Structure 1
Amino acid sequence: MENIYVNDEANSVKFQPDTDIAGNNKAKCNYLRCAAVSLGLLCVVLLAAIIGVCVYYNNVTNADGAINKGTRLQIYFKIGWFRFQSSLYLLSTVKKSWEESRKDCIGKGADLVVVNSLEEQKFIHGLKEAFWIGLHDQVTRGSWEWVDGTPLTKLYWGPGEPSNNGGVESCVERRLIFSKAEESWNDLSCDGELFFLCEKEVDP
């Protein structure tokens, strides 16, 4: 191949059109081709990720967009809730007054525990703490009712309770010192600070 010389005022430049210019064009084409292929692969990866997220979301949600019951329960269990029959329970890790305890439970979508049966009473009696339950007579002295407004029908008072020892005792604890589940309630001043047991129904 014959070399071509280009003269200018400063010097002469020798180049080979078929080799240098064509070579540069080929390199540019290869670069663009690689960029296009990389972009295509990136699009495929993103599409696969989006499909995966959609599949996961569909698995944990129902037609209305709410989290499935099983998934909700798993979430509750991971943050300390436990189940008995148709209710979920959460025993606090801090002590509060009865009113503040109830506010805490309500803030969690629950309320202080309402005992509806001897089976439930035996269940909560197995918890190794003294704690507030949702029983009080703050509306009418001596007329005990639950936080859901239902009157007291099943009685699990400790011996000599309710006693009102030392003043007005309008709130109730599940007392730890009694060994019998059927005799473990004790009335206390609502200002006292205890652990507390929240209860909420399992979502349908």
Structure 2
Amino acid sequence: MERRDVREMITDASRDARNRHNVRTETENSDTKRHQTPRHTGSDCVKSRSSRAAPVCLVLLCVLLLTAVIVLGVNLHNMIEEFYIKNKNLTDEIQELKTNKSNLKNNIKKISSEKIILTAEKQDLQKKMEELWQQISKMDGWKCYQSSLYYVSSENKNWTESRRDCTERGADLIIINNREELDFVKKVSGGSEVWIGLTEVEGTWKWVDSSIRTTGFWASGKPSSGNEDCAVNLSSGFADYSCDKPIKWIYGWTCYQSSLYYNSSEEKNWNDSNQDCLKRGANLTIINSNEEQDFLKIYGEVWIGLTNMEGTWKWVDGSTLTPSFWGYGEPNEHTKKDCAVNSKRQGNPGWNYYPCSSTFKWICEK
């Protein structure tokens, strides 16, 4: 009985000791948990960082989007400005093209009108040329070649008489300037000998216009050293003959456009020059265009058909002066020079005027 009680007591004491130990342990654990700092695992840290990075990325993305929108807006504005500028330039170009088109239409109308006028003038000139050729065809012995009109005589005279006959017809003995003209003269003369406008003056061979021979087509062994001072044209070339020998001759006028021109070989005052032209069935030349002015420059200083009549410059046919080709400083209104010459002098080419009593060569036109 006692052993059972002692065993029970020991058992109860042991149970109480275990209970107290468990209570204390639970209490300590409770206190430890209450005062201990919580510890996070690795997975909890990753989740915490991810939750903080998301807003930052969102903000950065918004900033990037805003920047992109601003850049695109600026580019769009520049593109719109560039478009407006190009559009304005195209508008201006279109307007300019319209203006040019209108001007071209006006020019075409003007050219068409001028074409009609020129066509009428051409027909008129052709008619005049036909009339001129009809007159020429009726003139026995006359031949035309390039820019000259030639007459071949049917009788024989010495050089002086031959030239006199030429001047009485308003022309002069022929001057041959090139091989083609030489061949033509041979053809129209039938290869026979004819006087030409070339003579020896004081040891120098000169043409009848006083120019020195710059081209020559002398036959072999010609010219000789004798007293044969006048030139003839042979089938073989030029030859020098005695001026007294009677043979045929050739003379001519110069053709230009629809007119014939005669250049004198001597000098006279203006009135005598004009009278000489009238005897030849012509007048002192009237210059109507810049082309004709350039053509007549080859003749040097020559009287032309222009005079100052009572303070007004007029042509010999009574027409007023249009156009004009005065040299620099001419006409000088402080002088009393009344007659005009055409000049090609260096430094001041064009028309000049002198007292009508001065002597110059002259140009006749018909």
Q: Give the secondary-structure state (helix, strand or coil) at the position aligned to 2:227.
A: coil
Partner amino acid, structure 2, of 1:76? I
1:78 is the counterpart of 2:138: yes
Alignment of 1:171-186 (within 5 A): 171-176=230-235, 178=236, 184-186=237-239
What does residue 31 of structure 2 align with?
Answer: none
What does residue 111 of structure 1 align with?
Answer: 172
Q: 2:199 aligns with which of 136, 140, 154?
A: 136
- Give distance in 1, aligned partners of 2:150 and 2:251: 5
What does residue 169 of structure 1 align with?
Answer: 228
Q: How many residues align?
A: 129
Q: Give the secondary-structure state (helix, strand or coil) at the position aligned to 1:150.
A: coil
- Give distance in 2, aligned partners of 1:124 and 1:74: 22
Partner amino acid, structure 1, of 2:209? D
Higher relative contact order (CA 8 A, sep 6+): 1
Alignment of 1:82-97 (within 5 A): 82-97=143-158
With normalisation by structure 1, the TM-score equals 0.59
Task: State the 1:146 CA deviation.
Answer: 0.5
- Give distance in 2, aligned partners of 1:74 and 1:136: 34
Partner amino acid, structure 1, of 2:230? C
- Give distance in 1, aligned partners of 2:208 and 2:129: 26
- Give distance in 2, aligned partners of 1:122 and 1:112: 17
Task: State the 1:82 CA deviation.
Answer: 1.0
What does residue 149 of structure 1 align with?
Answer: 210
Partner amino acid, structure 2, of 1:192? K
What does residue 159 of structure 1 align with?
Answer: 220
What does residue 22 of structure 1 align with?
Answer: none
Name which one, 1 or 2, has greater alpha-carbon Rg: 2
Task: State the 1:150 CA deviation.
Answer: 1.2
Higher helix share: 2
Task: State the 1:70 CA deviation.
Answer: 3.6
- Give distance in 2, aligned partners of 1:76 and 1:110: 15
What does residue 23 of structure 1 align with?
Answer: none
Q: Give the secondary-structure state (helix, strand or coil) at the position aligned to 1:144.
A: strand
- The runs of 5 or more residues in structure 2 that have no matched partner are 1-123, 261-366
What does residue 10 of structure 2 align with?
Answer: none
- Give distance in 1, aligned partners of 2:247 and 2:163: 12
Q: Give the secondary-structure state (helix, strand or coil) at the position aligned to 1:109.
A: coil
- Give distance in 1, aligned partners of 2:254 and 2:173: 12
Partner amino acid, structure 2, of 1:82? K
- Give distance in 2, aligned partners of 1:90 and 1:77: 12
- Give distance in 2, aligned partners of 1:159 and 1:170: 17
Partner amino acid, structure 2, of 1:156? F
* Gap change, CA 1:70 and 1:109, over 3 Å in 2: farther
What does residue 248 of structure 2 align with?
Answer: 195
What does residue 17 of structure 1 align with?
Answer: none
Partner amino acid, structure 2, of 1:140? E
* Identity across matched positions, percent: 35
Task: State the 1:68 CA deviation.
Answer: 4.0
- The runs of 5 or more residues in structure 1 that have no matched partner are 1-61, 179-183
Q: Give the secondary-structure state (helix, strand or coil) at the position aligned to 2:218.
A: coil
1:131-163 deviations in Å (ceiling 9; x for gaps): 0000011x322x111101111011100110001
- Give distance in 2, aligned partners of 1:188 and 1:101: 14
Partner amino acid, structure 1, of 2:215? K
Task: State the 1:90 CA deviation.
Answer: 0.8
What does residue 56 of structure 1 align with?
Answer: none
Partner amino acid, structure 1, of 2:194? F
Which one is further off, 94-103 or 69-78?
A: 69-78
Task: State the 1:69 CA deviation.
Answer: 4.5
